[in-house]
Each structure stands twice: as C-alpha cells, then as structure tokens.
Structure 1
Amino acid sequence: MKHDLPDDQTLYSALVARDPSWDGRAYVCVTTTGIFCRLNCPARDPKPENCQFMPTISACLDAGFRACKRCHPMHSAAEADPAVKSLLSALEADPMRRWREGDLVARGHDPSTIRRAFKRTFGTTFLDMARQARLHAGLTTLANGGRVIDAQLDAGFASPAAFRAAVAKHIGLPPGAFKSKALLRADWFDTPLGPMIAVSDTSHLHLLEFTDRKALPTELKRVYKACKGAMGFGRFAPTDQIEAQLHRYFAGDCAEFDVPLALHGTPFTCAVWDMLQTLPAGSTHSYSQIARAMGRPESTRAVARANGANQIAIVIPCHRVMGADGSLTGYGGGLWRKQKLIDLERQYAPNESEPA
C-alpha cells in the first residue's frame, strides 16, 4: 500500500498545532531521542531539523524508533484487540524482559494468533518487537560510546555471545565475524539525522552509513569479504576523525572531509566516487552531467548504479546527485535525509557575487 505524505513543513505545522486530524495518518520520529509520537502528542515540540515524518507505525519501528510513553502511538492501533493492547502495556512496563512463546501461553494467548494480530496491526511480530526493544537499548549504549559489556547488559542479554549474535543478525553478519582483536572495527555514534555506523581500520574509513539503511547488511558483508578479515566492536582513529568532522559539518562550520577512505568497488565505480567528491557542497548535478564530466556520456546508467552503491555516506556526497528534471531520486538513507542534506548545504554554496 502506498502512503503519500505532504511536505515536512505541512506536517510540522500540524505537529505544533496538535492537529487531531492527522492522528493515525502520520507519525513524527525525533532523531535526538529515538522516539516516535502522534502528531498531537502533548510533549514539548522538537526542533524541525530533528523531525522525521513516517506514514505508518511499522515504518517507525523499522527505522529503529521507540514509541512515546506520553501519547502511546501504538495503543490507538491496538484498541480493537484487547490481547494486543495488553501485551503492549506489558512490553512498556518491562522493555528488557526476554519474551518467549511460553510466556504468551502462560498469559492465556495462542502464539500464532498473537503473531498474526501484531503482523496485521504493526507489520512485525510481538516477539520481534520485544527483541528490537532490547537490542535498541544496547545499540544506544554503543552509539553513546559505551563498552560492549555495558551495551550487553543494557540490552538484557545474559552473555556476550548472545548479544554479539543479536547485533550480528541485526546488521547482517555471522556472530563469528566479530572478534575482539579484529583488523576492522565497527562503532556507532549519533548525528542530527539519526545514528550512523562507521567501520575503519587503523588508517582508513571503510564504511559510513545510517544504521536504518536497508542495504546495510549487504554493505557490511561486502566490506568484510573484501578485507578478508574479522570485524570487531570498537573504533580506530579514522572513526574518531569522521565523527568530529561530521559534528562540524552539521554545525555549519565546515563541509570538507579529509579522513582517508578505503573504497571497495570496481575501477569504474571508484572513479565515480572520486568524481562525486569533487562536487562542491551546495551544488547539485545529474547523472548525465557526471557521466559527461568523466568523458563517458554513454554511461549515465552505470553512473547511477555506482552512485547507489556508495557505502560512505555524506563524505562521498551521492546526495548531491538529482534526476535529470531536478527531482529527488533514490537515496539509500531515505529521501527525507537527502532533502535535509541538500537544505543544510545551502549555507556552504559559493557566493555567486564573489569573483571566481
């Protein structure tokens, strides 16, 4: 089913006005808190730049956001089913509990019935929702610079192995891929557009992506395979470097990145990525313009594929590439982020009144 939402300004105005007509038709996800709300939530208004609007509860959950405890956005969808409402209340009361099918039976529920009810209402099962709540707590700890053991405990996992297995499944790698003394290390940090994961070795950044990108598992597997080595939790200097540079970028201080990059692609793909890094902040270009600039005017589609395969977001600015008609085109991090990045970079655009 297709859900079309109006522009962010319209939805933000509805949020500020607490417009009840939008209840159930759109939700606001607040990137600074990791929480999603109804548009008529009584909580304090978030800043516009921290808002991401979603058409469904399922989309909010898939993006890693948790339900607000003031407006209870999931309860309205569950009102018609007492069993669903009861389990949601139980999950809110104890989000770290490890739920099993036996727990559902003990509460007088048929697991298959509950599975269908949650899939129908939220697009996910109750047990998956409970696992996601626990895992989110652990990932939040990692994103805030916490130790793996602290993240494990925050997520309610009894052993490091179980936590690593859950995280590995979440991001698409086998548990054995994560070693304590690995050549590659993955770590999380927060940004105004949501958490990002960075993978680096001692000298180069290999991957930088938003954690909710659907292609992230595939990208991690590609990096893991290309490096022929294990991956671990933690960070090296390039991760600290890119986190600091992104902080300056989002603060409006600097749009230049000089962290060394390790590119995993064909020679043509890497050539496209090199070309993208020459595009000045505040500018936009079409695929065909990039193809012509590379002396390959017949390779517009190949340029588009290389653009979509970019696995170092923002630093390799694939968000500066638009459709031939100037419209937003596909962006792995979500079109809403692409628009936010383009808007942000307007402050970096060269002053046309200045001499070239």
Structure 2
Amino acid sequence: MLITENDKIELYYRALLERKESFVGIFFVGVKTTSVFCIATCRARKPKLENVEFYTSIKEALDNGYRPCKICKPTENANKAPDQVERAIALVQQNPKEKITDNQLRKLAISPNIIRRWFKKSYGMTFQSYQRMYRINNAFQELKKGKNATHTAFDMGYESLSGFGYTFKKMIGNSPKKSSDKKIILIDRLTTPLGPMFICATEKGVCLLEFVDRQLLEKEFEDLQKRLNASILVGNNKHIKQAKREVAEYFEGKRKVFDVLLETPGTEFQNIVWGCIKEIKYGETITYQQQAERICKPKAIRAVASANGCNRISIIIPCHRVIGKNGNMTGYSGGIERKKWLLTHEKDS
C-alpha cells in the first residue's frame, strides 16, 4: 500500500534520515529520481522528501516500477531473520523435545516480543505454534519408526498422553495410531533478491516454491495437502536444503539448470504442461501459443495458460519464461515486475 498519511510519511522520512533499524521491513522507500527502492538503514545519499514515496511491501514497490537498491539490498535484508530470531530458531532445533518459554528467551537476551512479531509477519503464526509444529513433526518421525505413542509423548515434553494426542490430531489430522499412512509436507522459508519465499517438500522432492505474498497461497496449501493426503509442518529435509542452495546459485548467476527432485501432484495434462515449461532453456522465452504447439495441442492456449497458473514451483519450473503475444508480460503469480526481473536476470547472466 502506498503511504499517503502526512504524519506517517514524516515519521518514515525521519527514520530514513536516521537509519533506524527498528523500521527495517516496516516501509520501503521509492526514490523517484533513481527508480530504486530502499530500506530504512540504506547508506546511500539521502533523497529529498519530495522525491520519495513509501510503500508497505516489496511487491508494491516492484509493481510501481522501482528496482532494488544495490547498496542496501532491500529484498534480502528486509526479510532476513534478525540475529535474535536466528538464535531462537536454533534453540528450537537444538532442543526439539523441549518447549522454549519466554523466560528462557529473556535469559539469553532474546526479546519474546521481537520473536513474536517476526513469526507472525513472516510465517503467519506465533513462535509457540512454530515450536508445536516442529515438535509434532519430530514425534511423527519417531512414531513412523515404530516408537510407542506413550513414550513419544513424554519424550517430547508433553505432560499427558491426552494432551499429546489432541495436538497431534489437530496438526496431522488423525490420532497417532491412525497416522501410519499419513504423509508430511515440510515447510521452510528462504530469502531471495525478490523477497521471501516458502518452500515445501515431501520425502520425494520439492512440491512448492512460492513468494510469501502470492495471492491465494492458502488455497495452494490446502490443495497440496488434499492431493498428497498430507499435513504441512515446519521442518527441513535434504530436498529443501538442496533447493535452497540451487536457488541461491541461480540468483547469483551461477546456475542455469536445477537438479533437485520434484513432486508435482496434478492432472495428467498439467504435468505435461509443466514438463514443457521445464524444457524452456535459461534466458529464452516462448509464447502460450508456442507452448500449446509443443505439446501438440495448438488450440488449447487457454488450457495451457490455466495449467501454467497452477504451477506451484516457481523459478525451478520456470513459468516466467512463458509470455503473451508480441512479448507482453502476462500471467505471473509472483507479479509482473518479478517476471520482468527474472527474465532480465537470465538475459544478463
């Protein structure tokens, strides 16, 4: 959203002049004279008040024609987890069977309020919910290996079997005894030059890679869980780690082909279309018409476009390389400006 309230504009401009860290991620300032946008702590020479406008999200700045500043790198630094958050996450991962309390955080000089706000904004959940998901995922893995439910419950720090069973059923969908055939989709977060993304993977491979501000993302999560008969829990696996590394290499201009395994539940036609997209070479583009012709369905342009729109794995399945007639930039869920950026990035690499 473009900020129009004068008092807020003045507040943000003062924060920009003073490089206040507490405003990082709160606003993004577009500089009209250079067409770049920055975060509050940018070290570049400060523009005049009449030459700036403030937005509340990266996507809005991009959509209005601004490109990321090369000095403060707003799309990376605004969404990168602060040191306190990284320490809190490490604490959870190092103690998967223990509930981390606010008091424990304070003893380590970690502010519970900072942690709470960051998780709500970045994950759409509380830090306590994040912990529960992480603990239940670990419990699920132990149950699949044949461990007794009672022992698992108490090992995970639950004071009663009923409390463990209630939380487990709420997150997994079934009781511990009835979850042997249930699958888990792990979800993690990564930061890119175009903003933060969610990445999901099963034991078979990556099944989702989307910008966190993607419209209808919640419906994508619901559809994915339904198609795979799975529940989404916070976690990590080898496919997520590999994808994170490869995506970072892509943005650094060091990778043109992705090797990570994928799992793409969908119709037969959708998978044919997605397979066609994967064959478009780095730095090249095709039209929807050409894509329809490549799969021997020259009259199915709208169906092809619809299937493209159902692609859940951005960048790795590069639907940004499919364009409209006469080179028109159309139909990209991450936003047209991101599509332009990706195509320029590939052309210049």
TM-score (norm 1): 0.57
Using CA pairs under 8 Å that are at least 6 residues apart, name the structure with larger relative contact order, 1 or 2: 2
CA contact (8 A) 1:138 1:151 kept: no
Paired position in structure 1 for 2:159? none
CA contact (8 A) 2:37 2:69 kept: no
Paired position in structure 1 for 2:318? 317
Is structure 2 residue 121 aligned with structure 1 residue 176? no
Q: Alpha carbons of 1:289 and 1:201: their partners in 2 closer, same or farther (altered >3 Å)?
A: same
Q: Distance in 2 between matches of 1:216 and 1:48?
A: 31
Offset, 1:345: 0.6
Q: Alpha carbons of 1:296 and 1:191: their partners in 2 closer, same or farther (altered >3 Å)?
A: same
Offset, 1:202: 2.1
Q: Distance in 2 between matches of 1:195 and 1:142?
A: 19
Paired position in structure 1 for 2:49? 20
Residue correspondence of structure 1 range 291-302 to structure 2 within 5 A = 291-302=292-303
Residue correspondence of structure 1 range 180-259 to structure 2 within 5 A = 183-259=184-260
CA contact (8 A) 1:28 1:51 kept: no
Q: Distance in 2 between matches of 1:151 and 1:214?
A: 34
CA contact (8 A) 1:291 1:300 kept: yes
Is structure 2 residue 271 aligned with structure 1 residue 270? yes
CA contact (8 A) 2:2 2:55 kept: no
CA contact (8 A) 2:277 2:319 kept: yes
CA contact (8 A) 1:196 1:211 kept: yes
Work out which of the residue numbers 88, 108, 116 in structure 2 matches 1:155.
Answer: 116
Q: Alpha carbons of 1:164 and 1:313: their partners in 2 closer, same or farther (altered >3 Å)?
A: farther
The CA deviation string for residues 200-240 of structure 1, in whole angstroms up to 9 with x for no partner, is: 12231111111111221111111111111222111111000
CA contact (8 A) 2:206 2:260 kept: yes
The CA deviation string for residues 236-277 of structure 1, in whole angstroms up to 9 with x for no partner, is: 110001001011111111111111111121111110000000
Offset, 1:146: 6.9
Offset, 1:192: 1.5
Offset, 1:46: 3.6
Identity %: 28
Q: Distance in 2 between matches of 1:347 and 1:339?
A: 12
SS in 1 for 2:187: strand
Which letter maps to 1:160? Q
Paired position in structure 2 for 1:11? 35
Residue correspondence of structure 1 range 43-54 to structure 2 within 5 A = 46-47=69-70, 50=73
TM-score (norm 2): 0.58
Q: Alpha carbons of 1:2 and 1:306: their partners in 2 closer, same or farther (altered >3 Å)?
A: farther
Paired position in structure 1 for 2:327? 326
Which letter maps to 2:49? P
Gaps of 5+ in 2: 4-29, 39-43, 62-67, 94-98, 103-111, 118-124, 134-168
SS in 2 for 1:160: helix
CA contact (8 A) 1:320 1:342 kept: yes
Q: Distance in 2 between matches of 1:9 and 1:218?
A: 39
Which letter maps to 1:155? R
Q: Distance in 1 between matches of 2:319 and 2:301?
A: 14
Q: Distance in 1 between matches of 2:196 and 2:188?
A: 10
Paired position in structure 1 for 2:164? none
Q: Aligned pair count?
A: 246
Q: Distance in 1 between matches of 2:274 and 2:292?
A: 12
Offset, 1:331: 1.2
Which letter maps to 2:277? L
CA contact (8 A) 1:286 1:323 kept: yes
Q: Distance in 2 between matches of 1:262 and 1:147?
A: 28
Q: Alpha carbons of 1:342 and 1:233: their partners in 2 closer, same or farther (altered >3 Å)?
A: same
Which letter maps to 2:116? A
Gaps of 5+ in 1: 37-44, 53-64, 67-135, 166-174, 349-356
SS in 1 for 2:332: coil
Q: Alpha carbons of 1:50 and 1:303: their partners in 2 closer, same or farther (altered >3 Å)?
A: farther
Q: What is the Cα-based RMSD across aligned positions, in Å?
A: 4.4
Offset, 1:162: 8.6
Paired position in structure 2 for 1:92? none
Which letter maps to 1:147? V
